Structure 1
């Protein structure tokens, strides 16, 4: 059985991530400005987007195929992404996921770049979300 691999998708292959999200009926979508990271095991089984913002990056669209959940793929992706960054990585999540992200190196964040602060305020009108941040080792 082939092993999994984590990689940053080259620009021409970004549409594969949107195909992956769509195949699982997810509303998530990679944009042209995103770095798209994936876990592959003969095909994409997990993906996330990393968008440049302010002096760091915003982690969005983390999705693991249901049949591959609880196997460490999300942590594997997060570790690869944060170790590749030389800046702060922010994310928004439902409070029930806070423990998972904190175990992956994120902490509650009060000081967000203005662009993310405004977005979080908008999102919180209809969703329960919190902001977390990881200070990557290269950013310290």
Structure 2
């Protein structure tokens, strides 16, 4: 089996991220104003976006191919992506994922930039969401 690599996706390859999301019927979309990070095992098996925001980054779109879940790919991808980040990294997640993100060093004591706070309030109208940061 081929080793898993974790890397920044080069701009010409960005369409592959949305293709990956669509192939798994995910509603997530890659943002062109973000850094796109992927885990590959020949092909993309996981991805996430890091969007510049205020004095840090907003982590969105974390998705792992269901066929390879439970192998530590998500934590490895998150750590690879945020290891190069200067400043705070914020994310929104379902409250059931709080423990997962706490193991990666994220916490609930969040001071959100105004734009993210407004977005969180909108999201919370339709579903349970919490904000976390590291």
TM-score when normalising by structure 1: 0.94
1:19-30 equivalences under 5 Å are 19-30=19-30
* Distance (Å, rounded) in 2 between the aligned partners of 1:110 and 1:14: 30
Give the aligned partner of residue 114 of structure 2: 114
Deviation, 1:122, is 0.5
Give the aligned partner of residue 133 of structure 1: 133
Deviation, 1:109, is 3.3
Deviations 1:98-125 (A, max 9, x none): 0000001100033100000000000000
Q: What number of residue pairs does the alignment pair up?
A: 134
2:81 is aligned with 1:81: yes
Deviations 1:19-60 (A, max 9, x none): 000000001001210110000001000000010111110000
* 3-state SS of paired residue (1:62): strand
Deviation, 1:131, is 0.3
Query: 5+ residue gaps in structure 1?
Result: 135-140
Deviates more, 1:39-48 or 1:102-111: 102-111
Give the aligned partner of residue 41 of structure 2: 41
TM-score when normalising by structure 2: 0.98
Once superposed, which parts of structure 1, at least 4 consecutive aligned residues long, lie more than 2 Å away?
none
Give the aligned partner of residue 99 of structure 1: 99
Give the aligned partner of residue 138 of structure 1: none
Query: 5+ residue gaps in structure 2?
Result: none
Deviation, 1:2, is 1.2
